[in-house]
Structure 1
Amino acid sequence: MIASELDPCPRQPGAGRLLLLLGLVVAIAGCTPATLKQRNGYWADQAQTAQAFNHRVRFLVLHYTGGDEARAIKVLTGPSVSSHYVVADQPPRRGGNPVVYQLVDEHARAWHAGRSAWGGRTHLNDSSIGIEIVNPGPVDTPSGTVWRGFDGGQIEAVTTLARDIIARYDIAPENVVAHADISPGRKIDPGPAFPWEQLYRQGIGAWPDEPTVNAYRERFRYAMPGIAAIQSALSRYGYDIDTTGVLDQPTHSVVVSFQMHFRPGRYDGIPDLETVARLWALNDKYR
């Protein structure tokens, strides 16, 4: 066996012409440290890493497409809007697992959130991953507006994808949000038919504890908090809302978004006892 085959980085290249040539080839091809990365016109030495950093991704935003899969893919691969992932209404499967469409690398900034704010941060495209879920949204019928539910296989795919993202970026439960939460009055997706509580049971997102909700129902049964206190509590939880003491249009929009997420049985924008009890319980648990 040739000596250079035993030593991938020969120390004595002068041992012969063959040895020299073999040594040079191996040195170039095989002895570059794994931490040394060649880029366009320079090398980046990654042997030393800093400890003072965190992930760019702080939020996970869930949307519905408001249309069918073909239209969604066409729009989301066009020049104006995008999302990191799309989950079909009936996701294809491979090896028993659902297939989701990834349109944007997670480390890139997709254009899914638009004008947005949550937890004191704005422009959430900069710090979030977006998942678009194929669903038509509200449909007008002769008997009124109907919200189509989400397919079981689709929710399975969303659950698996979201759980993986949350684990990799250590996203807090209260930072798994609806598009409606971060853009109240402007957006309503993924709507009141989205099974937030079901996802919570799978370790995704936030949900109030029923005993705490019950305690606040009793506490506020005869003396509800004022509008200013409710606005302050909504702001504390993460919504972008001013404390005006008036049930104005921005407050109404925020309450609608909150209700669609946490009490979808009624989302009229009126901060009633059930809404307030759930809001206070959420703040107790997460804030």
Structure 2
Amino acid sequence: MIMKLRNLAGLAIALWLSGCASGLRLDTSHPSANYDSRVQFVVLHYTAAPLDRSLALLTHGQVSAHYLIGDGPATIYRLADERYRTWHAGESEWDGRTWLNSSSIGIEVVNPGYTDTPTGRVWYPYSEAQVQAVLALLRDIRTRYRLEPRYIVGHSDIAPLRKLDPGPLFPWQRLAKEGFGLWPDARAVSRAKVHFEMSPPTMAWYQEQLAKIGYGVSRSGVLDVATRHVLAAFQMHYRPSRFDGAPDAETAAILQVLAGMI
């Protein structure tokens, strides 16, 4: 009798283990309200390479992204499921969060970037079809995630010491009109510019406002090399006509207006 009970117990354990192997039976009647999505940011890039090379690098190289937007036609390639982390951001920071690969969707756009010539650096524009594809993709992403507009950023915003993409010709103002990013009111900027022309702010003020918007910046209180790079990235995003990293009244005005929107 004892042997028979032992055999039955062994059979029960074997059946339970078999059930575990084939799939757990989970009680899902008590869902938590305290969670959110892995996806907190969208980071936009240019590839600095033609389509065939971009596809090879992003699918079999050491870098990757969730989406690639081609050129002629502007096909949207899905390269990785959004649930998974891809290797597009590298060492990065935005709004206090670092190493954004784990918390972002990466979108690459086929674009040469720039060419240095004897007369200066030449940047390459994005086609209208590519811009429309970016907007369509962002609208689709927005249906799945409640992203703050200021969390849609460029690679140069999150890694200003080492990256320039998506460059000064990326249409940030058009994206902001669709709710993908921030853009300052021109009249408010003009009013603030007059004030800052008469009373320039300190470098500590610049660093404080840049940090408020989301940039990773030192609080040294001086225009060090790192701060100049961050200022240049900010200018390239919001004032692409000149992005030399030098503080000026217009840059201060744009900073103040944007910081007031957050």
In structure 1, the partner of 2:9 is none
Partner SS for 2:115: strand
Please report how far the alpha carbon of residue 102 of structure 1 lies from its aligned counterpart in structure 2 after TM superposition. Answer: 0.7
Asked if 1:75 corresponds to 2:92, the answer is no
In structure 2, the partner of 1:161 is 137
In structure 2, the partner of 1:205 is 181
Residue of structure 2 aligned with 1:84, choices 66, 82, 93: 66
Q: 1:40 to 1:227 in 2, by over 3 A?
A: farther
CA RMSD of aligned residues (A): 1.6
Please report how far the alpha carbon of residue 144 of structure 1 lies from its aligned counterpart in structure 2 after TM superposition. Answer: 2.0
Q: 1:236 to 1:44 in 2, by over 3 A?
A: same
Asked if 1:42 corresponds to 2:24, the answer is yes
Q: Distance in 1 between matches of 2:225 and 2:76?
A: 38
Residue of structure 1 aligned with 2:46, choices 64, 69, 78: 64
Deviations 1:47-104 (A, max 9, x none): 5422111111111100000111111110001241100000012235xxxxxx410111
| Counterpart code for 2:200 | M
Gap runs ≥5 in structure 1: 1-37, 93-98
Q: 1:75 to 1:50 in 2, by over 3 A?
A: same
- Structure 1 stretches of 4+ with a deviation exceeding 6 A read none
Please report how far the alpha carbon of residue 145 of structure 1 lies from its aligned counterpart in structure 2 after TM superposition. Answer: 1.1
Please report how far the alpha carbon of residue 166 of structure 1 lies from its aligned counterpart in structure 2 after TM superposition. Answer: 2.7
Please report how far the alpha carbon of residue 178 of structure 1 lies from its aligned counterpart in structure 2 after TM superposition. Answer: 0.5
Q: Distance in 2 between matches of 1:241 and 1:235?
A: 6
Deviations 1:233-285 (A, max 9, x none): 11111111111111110001001100110000001010111111101100001
Residues 150 and 180 in structure 2, CA contact (< 8 A), matched pair in contact too: no
Identity %: 46
Q: 1:221 to 1:168 in 2, by over 3 A?
A: same
Question: Under a length normalisation based on structure 1, what TM-score does the superposition of the two structures give?
Answer: 0.81
Residues 91 and 100 in structure 1, CA contact (< 8 A), matched pair in contact too: no
Residue of structure 2 aligned with 1:148, choices 124, 147, 167: 124
In structure 2, the partner of 1:100 is 76
Partner SS for 2:231: helix
Residues 163 and 203 in structure 1, CA contact (< 8 A), matched pair in contact too: no
Q: Which range moves more in the overlay, 153-162 or 134-143?
A: 134-143
| Counterpart code for 1:91 | P
Question: Under a length normalisation based on structure 2, what TM-score does the superposition of the two structures give?
Answer: 0.88
Deviations 1:188-222 (A, max 9, x none): 10000111111112221111112221221122121
Partner SS for 2:261: helix
In structure 1, the partner of 2:101 is 125
Q: 1:46 to 1:159 in 2, by over 3 A?
A: same
Aligned residue-pair number: 243
In structure 2, the partner of 1:26 is none
Partner SS for 1:139: strand
Q: Report which of the two structures shows the higher radius of gyration computed on alpha carbons.
A: 1
- What does residue range 192-271 of structure 1 map to in structure 2 within 5 Å? 192-271=168-247
Gap runs ≥5 in structure 2: 1-19
Partner SS for 2:198: coil
